[in-house]
Structure 1
Amino acid sequence: MPSLEAVHGAGGRAELSTPRLRPGAPERAGLDPTELGHLADEVHALTAGVRPWAAGAVVLAGRGPVVAVAEAAGWAVRYARYDPETGAGVELPPAERVPADVRTPFDLASLTKLFTSVAAVQQIERGTLGMDARVGAYLPEFTAAAEHGITVRQLLTHTSGLRPELPLYDRPDAAARLAMLRAEAPAAAPGTYLYSDLNMILLAFVLERITGRTLDVLIEDGITRPLGMTETGFGPRPRAAATEDQRRPWAKADRGMLRGEVHDENAWALGGVAGHAGLFSTAPDLAVLCRALLAGGAYGPARILGPDFTELLLTPPGLGFAVDQPWFMGELAGRGAAGHTGFTGTSLVLDPATDTFLVLLANTVHPRRRLPDSRPRAVMATHLSRAVRGA
């Protein structure tokens, strides 16, 4: 429940300040400590051994304003490079490794899409962006999207029909990459669900056109600064956990071991700021975003969205957010839980039905990418769900 402290919102009207996050015992949050103990143990298990699920990981979970678990394990930087002959990473000397801690920044990968979606819904709330407006109305030079009548809603719900990605990283310059995007027609009929990075890339161009501000400025001014998320932003982030020794043939570019530079090759090709990838953040910062959304768009004295528009963002089919997906939400799915995953090993789940949230940050691609495995994400979410039921 909101506190009794009244503050003045951006429009000059008095609003109630919502409680800020604070650490507390599981029991204080109405959570079972045994299940949360299993959740914390899982982080250490995932980072142990010769070939762990992730070199390093951080998990943060809670209910209401209480952070009941904040656990870090493993290494933010463990390997110097990847050795294709042995199929393993070449470990740094112990003195040169960097341990992961709760405030280690990680490359969010596709969790960036959530910020782009919030920024878009902010413009919808203000009336400067139409949910069912055609992309061509804002970006007529994107001729293929205009010709096929792709809408803003379709970008937000991955129903534009655009294919998952384009090899922008193989184009020689910014002009060639932009020309490729402008000419890209849907691979499936608009209205067909097909998860695509291109949706959020185009949405970022729309937002920049209607506001006259770049995406990084929009996210900072509209989300991270009001919420006090000081550790969230686009790169470079020198303190961030390392990701991949990015080299062909297993990667799409030859960039070497990456730390603090965006892992996604297309985001890199677009200058590091893109609608689908590029942000770095910490678990405590992401918990603030979760808390704000669970509280109807407000955190402390700040409000980033109205309650109706926050609900619009999170309810099926979700705008940018995936809803009720057991493959990474485990037993939290089924009641309206919303969230997303990121290729680098990140995920975020918030459950309005139980007022719970779970943030997992990891560098599963350090020292080299592998086939995605979301079972650990689902296991952690299930522990949180059972902690609610077992309290």
Structure 2
Amino acid sequence: MVIAGRGPVVAVEEAAGWAVRYAAYDEETDTGVELPPGSRVPMTVHTPCDLASLTKLFTAVAAVQQLERGTLGIDARVGAYLPEFRAAAAYDITVRQLLTHTSGLRPELPLYDCPDDAARLALLRAEAPSSEPGEYLYSDLNLLLLQYVLERVTGRTLDVIVRDCITRPLGMTATGFGPCPGAAATEDQRRPWAKADRGMLRGVVHDENAWALGGVAGHAGLFSTAHDLAIFCRTLLAGGSYGPARILGPDFVELMLTPPGLGFALDQPWFMGALAGRGAAGHTGFTGTSLVLDPATDTFLVLLANTVHPRRRPADNAPRAAAGTRLRRAVRGA
């Protein structure tokens, strides 16, 4: 589904295809096992989807809120908040490095293979950078560590932080961590193409590490609808306010969207198309999601899909980039 708009106006809100089409994936024929027509579920503009890494944007906003309140320092050492994370403390990893993916931490850890929560936590606490801190290396671990920092400084779990500080004030009633029974299906998740054997997934987080962590994680786990994400986009484009609600001040929204970006990727034509180039900010998600803000034209674009249904494939970013280019042309011609 797609939703796009400019300022307070939603210009396009359309859905196509199926939220649930397949019962399973047949690895012998490399095809999906289709459900009978009457059992399939069409995608609508109200269908929640697994946001995957778009969750990182909410974790980033929650962190910047704490910067604004003075309870978190942008250049503070992670070890100052989490001394038990001894590797991060030893390498002086900072909050800024977590938000800009410059901590040097590798992309992920096999938390899904750990026998229990204690083993998962021990693995995270002992993880040292795999490259020199200060160099860019995209990593889910950055937002996972940031989750633990936020939970320590606020005394609340991440799901409660996101609900109380972002979604509830903005009226985003369809956004939250799973389970989400009415969501679009994702993958028939099985080894060897996946990292766990879980079967066909619907309404539970697709990401294996987020699943291992109970469905609430700084890098993945949120479900939402196009309408709710439009509210999120309009809030940031308006400097942190939506109607009577204010979740951030304009200066802190600007800080978040100023190069190199805090949590947000900036000016990436590979998924933004022609929207990139003048300060556009956004992110993609593994399940087939993407979000782009273009402050220069006060426009936003959200794509929600379940492209991993019934099985993950190499990402095709051409449709994302094409949608961004079409929106830029439409705005230019307005």
Instruction: Tell me the equivalent position of 1:164.
Output: 107
Counterpart of 1:354, as a letter, is T
2:286 counterpart letter in structure 1: F
Matched letter for residue 205 of structure 2: V
Off by >3 Å, runs of 4+ in structure 1: none
Q: Please say if 1:63 is aligned against 2:2.
A: no
1:343 equivalenced with 2:266 (yes/no): no
What is the match of residue 369 of structure 1?
Answer: 312
Aligned ranges for residues 1-391 of structure 1 at < 5 Å? 58-391=1-334
| 1:310 shift after superposition | 0.6
What is the CA distance between 1:382 and its match in structure 2?
A: 0.3
Amino acid at match of 2:86: T
C-alpha RMSD over aligned residues:
0.4
CA drift of 1:372 comes to 1.0
Shift of 1:179: 0.2
**Partner SS, residue 302 of structure 2:** strand
Which whole-Å CA distance do the structure 2 matches of 1:355 and 1:250 have between them?
Answer: 40
Distance 2:104 2:316 in 1: 26
**How many angstroms does 1:383 deviate by?**
0.2
1:190-214 deviations in Å (ceiling 9; x for gaps):
1010000000000000000011000
Q: Distance in 2 between matches of 1:171 and 1:372?
A: 28
1:160-210: per-residue Cα shift (whole Å, max 9, x none)? 000000000001000000000000000011101000000000000000001
Write the letter of the residue equivalent to 2:197: D
Question: Residues 199-255 of structure 1: CA distance to partner in whole angstroms, max 9, x if unpaired?
Answer: 000000000001100000000000000000000000000000000000011100000
- Inter-partner Cα distance in structure 2 for 1:204 and 1:93: 42
Query: Offset of 1:389 from its aligned partner?
Result: 1.0
In the alignment, the residues of structure 2 paired with residue 314 and residue 299 of structure 1 have an alpha-carbon distance, to the nearest angstrom, of 18
SS at match of 1:73: coil
Cα distance between partner residues in 1 of 2:146 and 2:6:
32
Where 2:231 maps in the other structure, the secondary structure is helix
Q: Which amino acid aligns with 1:324?
A: D
Uncovered stretches (5+) of structure 1, i.e. residues with no partner: 1-57
SS at match of 1:124: helix
The amino acid of 2:227's aligned partner reads: P
Q: Displacement, 1:75?
A: 0.2
CA distance in structure 2 between the partners assigned to 1:339 and 1:188 by the alignment: 25
Please report how far the alpha carbon of residue 115 of structure 1 lies from its aligned counterpart in structure 2 after TM superposition. 0.1
- CA distance, structure 2, for counterparts of residue 370 and residue 320 of structure 1: 25
How far apart are the structure 2 equivalents of 1:275 and 1:368? 24
Deviation (angstroms), 1:319: 0.3
Partners of 1:316 and 1:325 in 2: how far apart?
12
Matches of 1:196 and 1:359 in 2, distance apart? 23
Q: Report the Cα distance in structure 1 between the residues aligned to 2:101 and 2:151, rounded to whole angstroms.
A: 20
Q: Deviations over 1:333-367 (max 9, x none)?
A: 00100000000000000100000000000000000
Q: Report the AA paired with residue 138 of structure 1.
A: Y
How far the C-alpha of 1:373 sits from its partner, in A, is 1.2
Cα distance in 1 for residues equivalent to 2:6 and 2:34? 38
Q: Which amino acid aligns with 1:199?
A: N
Q: Which amino acid aligns with 1:141?
A: E
Query: Where does the alignment leave 5 or more consecutive residues of structure 2 unmatched?
Result: none
Instruction: Work out the CA distance in 2 between the residues paired with 1:340 and 1:173.
Output: 31
How far is the alpha carbon of 1:313 from its aligned partner? 0.8
Q: In percent, how many aligned pairs have the same letter?
A: 83
Query: Structure 2 CA distance, aligned partners of 1:316 and 1:241?
Result: 34
Cα distance in 1 for partners of 2:286, 2:315 equals 7
Q: 1:151: how far off?
A: 0.1
